[in-house]
Amino acid sequence: MQITTPDIGVDKAVVAEILVKVGDTIAVDDSVVLLESDKASVEVPSTSAGVVKSILVNLGDSVAEGAALIELEAEGQTEAPAVQAQADVVQAEEKTAPAAVAETVAPAATTASQVIDVQVPDIGVEKATVGEILVSVGDQIDVDQSILVVESDKATVEVPSTISGTVESISVQVGDSVKEGVVILTVKTAASVAPVTAEPTPVAEPQTTEAQSAEAAPQAAAAPAGAVEIAVPDLGVDKAAVAEILVSVGDTVEKDQSIIVVESDKATVEVPSTTAGVIKAIHVALGQNVSEGVALVTIEAEGQAPVPVAQAVAQTPAKPTAAQAATVPVVASTVQAAPAVQGADKLTKEQNAANAKVYAGPAVRKLARELGVVLSEVSASGPHARVMKEDLKAFVKARLTAPQAAPAAQAAAQVSGLPKLPDFTAFGGVEEKVLTRLQQVSIPQLSLNNYIPQVTQFDLADITELEAWRNDLKGNFKKDGISLTIMAFIIKAVAHLLKEERDFAGHLADDGKSVLLRNEIHMGIAVATPDGLTVPVLRNPDQKSIKDIAVELGVLGQKARDKKLSPKDLQGANFTISSLGAIGGTAFTPLVNWPQVAILGISPATMQPVWNGQGFDPKLMLPLSLSYDHRVINGADAARFTNKLTKLLKDIRTLLI
């Protein structure tokens, strides 16, 4: 079936982003395509669950209502052939001898294997040249084993395998130019055959009755088959730390169930499972830094290979043959070949940086981190002075058996610039309160503010008429389930002003010689949660109505409090607003969030007397605190910005002029 463009309120829209790829399994209401028009950005949801068979549009295509976007093989479409195949097998078995049935067991088992493409990951450059192919057809490879060496004018990179199995074919040659997404080779996984041989329970009767066959068929259809790796999605950051592992080996998980919690300095994100099944292996450990594409867990997925397994097992003779007996331990060892849980990183940042300069594969680097070995100290025996796993093991063995001198001072912790705390024992002692994980990972980001020459401009905005208008509107908004706060109006006014004052939504270039002006406005909105402050991003507020902004504010705020923010919800902001709301206070100095150059703080509005030339009028005044990077923005520019903002808020109808 096809997923088509719904009624999006405009004649045409442009395909801005394709959110799925061929082979993905999606559920109902999963977003598949992002469409943009001059009015809004809209994510098109899937109207059915299934597997993406083909993508019918390209980035930049203009589509209208009814245009086909993707072709989907809906759930249940592939089950009929499998059921029919099972029925055919049952009929055939009724007409054949038990010996013939025994001969068909081995071919049935092999059908559960999967052939998976291994692609070039993000290597930091658009293109690179294949310098060396490290495997051959027929080789047995493991996860993280180096399979290819690619070279660019910047670096030489070894590409690791993301799966384990047997190399079926190699799609590239030495000298080929490749980029991200190009298929390197195909691998036949062996883990998927485990259900076939895992239960070789012999039965007393060599034949199976019709009733037994009919009973075995649905069991086979429901049996899990196919090892699927769940990898780290795009987090919007280079690295994040594994904060919590929510599953254990042997657990049964559902599709979209959270399995891992990762945390960065921006947010805490729960990584969901993309399929239902049983956890076979966990590839990460608490505290480990992970990036996009790193394997988290291996799941024995359900329903991928509905072969008549139970039926074949039921018809196995009471005394299995020698060949069958020999098969069992082989398959078991294949299943056990999944990578072990990684240990904690025992190296400092400086030592990891030194290791990055040494020619070694990912598996060797991983082992070095776990063992605390600096690779530059290891004698390399591989081609081109490449450190092999055997070299590392020999080095560790020699170090453990050799007499050790008194160790030098261990690597000191990162210097914060502050001296150590004094001993408070004489003053009543202390009670330690551990910071939340979100607070801990935010410290490095907040510390960047030490390098920003920040100044804050304060002002007051008369919102008397604006508040009266909001009170007139909020009744109708409430009927629609929308909370209309003053924040929606402020966001609209600031977004309008940023289109004119583009420096405030720009970034200082790395060389400090220019300002990078953004073409779009994406506004970070600070939200207080029990675990700390997080900043989801409101997209293109300048293109949205106040009602649309109010709706999105409610959605983002709730997702932040429920820890349901996706990585995409936290990316790309070029200006931030932080409001104290009804908490209290008169003014504060918000910190500029690098790489942004400005942030607006909002304090609670109060009634104040304002001189009109003859007397004092009671006015509702809103305190504004604009902090800015003085390297980019001058004080006069900041004063003009807040002055223009106060005029917009005093009569927001000027936005319509």
Which amino acids are annotated catalytic?
630
DSSP states along 429-470: -----PPPHHHHHHHHHHHGGGGS-EEEEEEEEE-HHHHHHH
Residue 379 and residue 395 in contact, taking contact as beta carbons nearer than 8 Å:
yes
Residue 482 and residue 547 in contact, taking contact as beta carbons nearer than 8 Å:
yes
C-alpha 277/C-alpha 294 separation (Å) is: 20
Question: Please, what's the b/e burial string for 238-275 (b: 16 or more CB within 10 A of its CB; e: otherwise)?
Answer: eebbbbebebeeeeebebeebbbbbbbbbbbbbbbbbb
**From residue 490, how far is each of 433, 474, 523, 529 by CA, in Å?**
37, 15, 12, 22
Residue 595, preceding bond cis, omega within 30 degrees?
A: yes
C-alpha 584/C-alpha 603 separation (Å) is: 7
Q: How many CA atoms lie within 13 A of 517 on its CB side?
A: 7
- Taking Cα atoms as reference points, which of 587, 533, 607 lies closest to residue 565? 533
Cβ neighbors of 46 (< 8 A, separation 6 or more) are 3, 26, 27, 28, 29, 30, 31, 32, 70, 72
Pairing of strands 128-133, 146-151: antiparallel
Residue 352 and residue 288 in contact, taking contact as beta carbons nearer than 8 Å:
no
Residue 173 and residue 130 in contact, taking contact as beta carbons nearer than 8 Å:
yes
